[in-house]
Structure 1
Amino acid sequence: MRILLIHLSPPVEAPYPLGLALVAAALAPRRHELLVAETARSSPRIIAAQAAAGTVDLALVSIPRGCEELGCRMMGELIEARVPVAVSGPDVVLRSRAWARPPARSWAIVGEGAIHSWGALPIWSEATVVDLVDALTSHGDASAIPGAFSGEGELRLRPPDIELWPRLVADRTLFPVEDYCGGMLAHGYPYTALLSSRGCGLGCAYCPVPSTPTGRFVGRPAGSVAEEMLRLHRDHGVRSIHIEDDRFAADAGRVSLFSSILRKQGAPVAWELPNGIRVEDAQNEALLEQMASAGCVALTLSVEAMHSGSATDAAPWSEGIERVETAVRKCKRAGIKTEAYFIIGLPGNTESDLRRMLREARRLPLDGVLVSVFDRVPGSLIPPADDSELLPARLAAIRRSSMIRCYSHPRRLALLFAELIKHPGRIAVLGRKMRTLYPST
C-alpha cells in the first residue's frame, strides 16, 4: 500500500510530529510505501490532488488542537478526491461522530493514545492504524476494528496495546529531526520530542482522559528511553528534548533508573517536562535531585486550581497553596526551572476567586505562569454549564491580563531576556505566542 502521512502545522508552536513518527515506526515491519505531506508547504487541495494522482491507498491526517478547521478542509478535499482517509487528534477522539463521514471511506481513530497532550501534539493509536491497514490490504472488514470508527454502527474504544507501544521508537528518518528542530520554546537547539509513558490514572473530574482508554499509566522501559535520548544527541546533535508524558513521574523507580543511566553517560542532553507533572509527584526531593543531575533543566507543575489551606468548600481537584509552594521550592533547590499550569473557568469559580488564585500564583517563586481557560469537552465528569458561570470573553480577558502581569514582573522579565540572549532561536516562537495575548499585533 501507498500511505500518505499528513502533518498539519499548528499556528503558534510547531512541535515535532511525534504521533505520525510513531505510526510510521509501527507500520515499518509491513514494508508499505510511506509518504509525507505538510500543510506548511502545500495547500489541502494540492495535497489531495497529488494523493489522487499518485494513487495513494490511504491518507492519515494528524489534527492538532487549533487546526480543526484546517483538518476539516483537508479531510473534505481527500474525500472529494476519492482518497480513503483516517484522522486522529484530541477533537477527533472526543467528537468522533462529527468526524466520521459515511458513506465515504473515512475513519476516526479513537484508540488509546490520541487524547494525549491535549494541544498541539496529537498521538495516534498505532495498533488501530496497523489493523486498519492490514484490513485494507487484505480487502477485509475494516468496520470490525476497535478504535476505527467509520460513522456507522457502534463506536468501540480500544484499550491500550501494552505489547506494541512500549517497543516503538519514533521514525526519525521519515520525519527528520532537522526539519522540525526550532518550532518550540526549548533550552537548546536542535530540539525534539519523545514519549516515555502514556496515561495517567488519576481521573481528575475536569479532564477528558478518564472517558478514553488512556486512563491507566503505561511506561516504556527506562533503558529504552535513555538510549533513544542518547542516540538523538549522538546522531542528530539534539541538545534539548521535550518529554511529553501525561504523568512522567508516576513510577518513581522507573524515573530513578532512567536518571541513573543518563547520569552515567555524562547527561549530555538537556531535557524538560513541558506537559506537566502533578504537585504530589514533585514532593519527592531526592527524585528531583536525581532528575536534575541527569539533565532535567525545566518542568511544569500541573497545579490547575489552588485554594487557601483553610478552605472547606474547595473543589476536590484543587491544591493547597502551601503544598504548591513547597513543591516549587523543592524543584528550585534541585536547580530545575519551574513553571505552573492554572485553569480558570472551572465550575464554581467567581471572578474574585480567580483573581485571588492568580495573585497567589504570581507571588510564588515560579519562572512562569501558564493560564488556560477551562474547555468542557465530551467525557469530562464535570456537569454541564449553568448561567452562573463566567462568559468566555470575560475569562479570556482575565487570562490575558494575568499572563501580562506575570511576565511584566521585573524578575521574570530579566529571566526572559537572559533566556533569549542564551537561546536566540526562542525569539520567533515567543513572538507567535505573544500574538495570542495581543491579537492585534
Structure 2
Amino acid sequence: MYSEDYEDDPDYLAFAQQQDRYTGNNSEDDDGVSEYNDGAGVKYIIKFKPQLPPLQPNEKRRSNAKADTVNCSAFVHEKAPMSDFLDAIILAIGRDEQTMKFKIVSETLRTTRFKATWTISRTDYQNMQLSSEAGYKELVEQAVKKAKVEAKLEIVECELEPRALTALNGDETAADGDGPDKSKKRKLNPEEEKMAETVVELQHANRCSDRGCSSRFCFIGNPGAKHVRLTPVLLNIWAAGIIAKIPTVTTKKPPPPEEEKAFWPLDDGLSDIDDISMLATRRRNIAAKPATSSGVTINNDFSALATIMQPIISASTSVINRQNPSEAPSTPNNNHLPHRLLASPAKPAEMTIPQFCNAFRLSADILQRLSALELEGPHLLAYVENSVLDAHLTIGQRAAVRFAENEWKKGKIGR
C-alpha cells in the first residue's frame, strides 16, 4: 500500500511498509479473511488532491499554484467499520490523524479537513458523497457486486481556516515577505520521532469500538474493565515506558500501577473525609429519618409579647373601673382579673451531629472530631463530660461546642 508517484523513494517505501501493519489487516483478526481480491479485501483506487503547504518565511509562489495529485491504492476488508476504512485511506495517501482529523457522530462523518466522493465504474454511482455510515455501506455493497471488486475514491483536502492558516504561517507580513524573518519549525530529534511512531502504534492497538464511548482510544485492560481515555499525556507516558523497555509494558499493557496509577482506576470510594463524603453522610442521615419527622421545628414563643402587653391590659382595666364605679364589685373577684400570659418553653430541634455543626457554623475539623464519638445528636452532649471532649477537642473547639449546645437548648436552630 503505497503511492505510485513515490515508489522510487526508499524513505517513503519504509514508511509504507511500516504502516501496512495498520491498514487493511487489522480487520482480518476480527472479521476473518476477506472473500475478495485473494483475501486482501475491497480495492480502492485513490485520487488525492492535497493543498499546498503553508508558505515559509520569505517564501513566495505564484497565485495559481496547485499541489500535485497523489494516485495510490489501498485494500480494506469489506466488514471494516467506517473509522478503520478512513484511517487506512488517510495512511495510504501519506497523511496522519492530526492533519486529517475526523469524527463519526450519530453515524455521520464530521470533518473540516477533507471531502470524499466515490465512483463505481460502469454504474449510475458516480461522484457520490461519502458523508455517513449509510453511504459507506452502500459503497461496499455496490463494490462487491462487480466482477472486479474495486471502487474509485477522490479525496480533496480542504483549505485551512484563516485562524489555522495564521497559526501556521505567522502574521500576514511574514507571509508576504515584508516582515521580519520568522524562525523555522524545529525538527524532531531521533528520540522524539521514535516517541511519535510509538504513539501511533498505541493508537492503532487501543482503538475503542464501543459506540457508547466518546473517546476513540481507550484502555480497558484494568481489573474493573473501565474505559480509561487515552489522552495525549497518557499516550506519551505509555510510549515512554515502551521506549525505556520496561519488561511488562507492551502495546496492549501500560505501565504498572506503581509506575502510573492513571491506567488502573480504583473501584473503592473516597477513603478520606472531605466535603463530598460529609455531604453524602448528611444525605444518608436525612434519608434514614422517618417520613413524618420534619427537618425544621417551629417554636411559638410569645413570652416577650405577653410581657409587653401586660401594662396595656392593666391600664385599660383601671380606666373601665373608673368610668363605671357602680359596676365595680364591692369585693375583688380574681376571676375578672386579666391573667398573665405564660409562654411555653422552647423545644430544642431534633437534629444529627452533622446538621448541628452545619446549623451553628462549626468547622469541619470539629465535625470530624465529634464523629469519632459516634453521638446520634446534640441531645447527648449533656451526658459527655468536658474531660472526654478535651481528649478530642481543643479548648476553643470545646467552648464553641458548648456555646452552640446552649443556644440549641434555647430552641434556636442556628446562628
Task: Give TM class, smaller chain.
Answer: under 0.3
- Flag the structure with more relative contact order, 1 or 2, with Cα contacts below 8 A and sequence separation at least 6: 1
TM-score (norm 1): 0.22
TM-score (norm 2): 0.23
